[in-house]
Amino acid sequence: MTVNQSLHNWLPKLGNVAVLCVGDVMLDQYVYGDVDRVSPEAPIPVLNVNRRAQAMGGAGNVACNIAALGATANLVAVIGDDDAGARVRDLLSNWDGTEPHLLVDPDRPTTVKTRFIAGGQQLLRADDESAGDIAANVLDRVVEAATSVAGASSIGAAILS
């Protein structure tokens, strides 16, 4: 049996699987445009923006990929009390097969990674994030939520992302 045949037989079974995904969720932003000149202020390209897009990143991307394969993704993650956190919540609520369990930490921003792209080439990535560990009380809430989800659902697999 080939790998493709094996996957073809195995993928339909994912519809009965619930996966617990715990990790760092982030909002990926993409800014697309064209470059036709160099800035007079510094030797850098000037991006003329013509399109923007947003998608789930980090553990949120993992959860969406799990759901796209037909399994149920129970995502436990921390977001900030900010616009990016609201957007993460919105994106996940519109993705069938994801069950987000998002914990809000008002002292921490939602991680946002913005990529600037022209002609298929990434020019720059700007990260807006807190690089430090999450607070102990928030970590306790993450463990409590993950334990609760694992106990209340028929979890067939767990992923730490």
Give yes or no for residue 42 having a pLDDT over 90.
yes
Residue type, 57: G
Mean pLDDT computed over 11-23: 80
DSSP structural state of residue 11: G
Instruction: Determine the pLDDT at residue 135.
Output: 95
All domains in the chain, ordered by first residue? 16-160 (3.40.1190.20)
Give the model confidence (pLDDT) of 84-124 as tens digits: 999 999 999 999 999 999 999 999 999 999 999 999 999 99
Give yes or no for residue 11 having a pLDDT over 90.
no
Instruction: Determine the pLDDT at residue 13.
Output: 61
Give yes or no for residue 45 having a pLDDT over 70.
yes
Instruction: Determine the pLDDT at residue 17.
Output: 83
CB 57 within 8 A of CB 90: no
Mean pLDDT computed over 78-86: 98
Instruction: Determine the pLDDT at residue 10.
Output: 58
3-state DSSP call for residue 39? coil
Strand boundaries in the chain, DSSP class E: 18-22, 25-38, 45-58, 72-80, 98-105, 111-118, 121-128, 155-160
Mean pLDDT computed over 4-9: 63
| Alpha carbons 120 and 32: distance in angstroms, whole number | 9
Residue 156 or 136, more confident: 136
| Alpha carbons 120 and 105: distance in angstroms, whole number | 36
Q: Is 41 exposed, middle or buried (0-12, 13-18, 19+ CB in 10 A)?
A: exposed
CB 49 within 8 A of CB 118: no
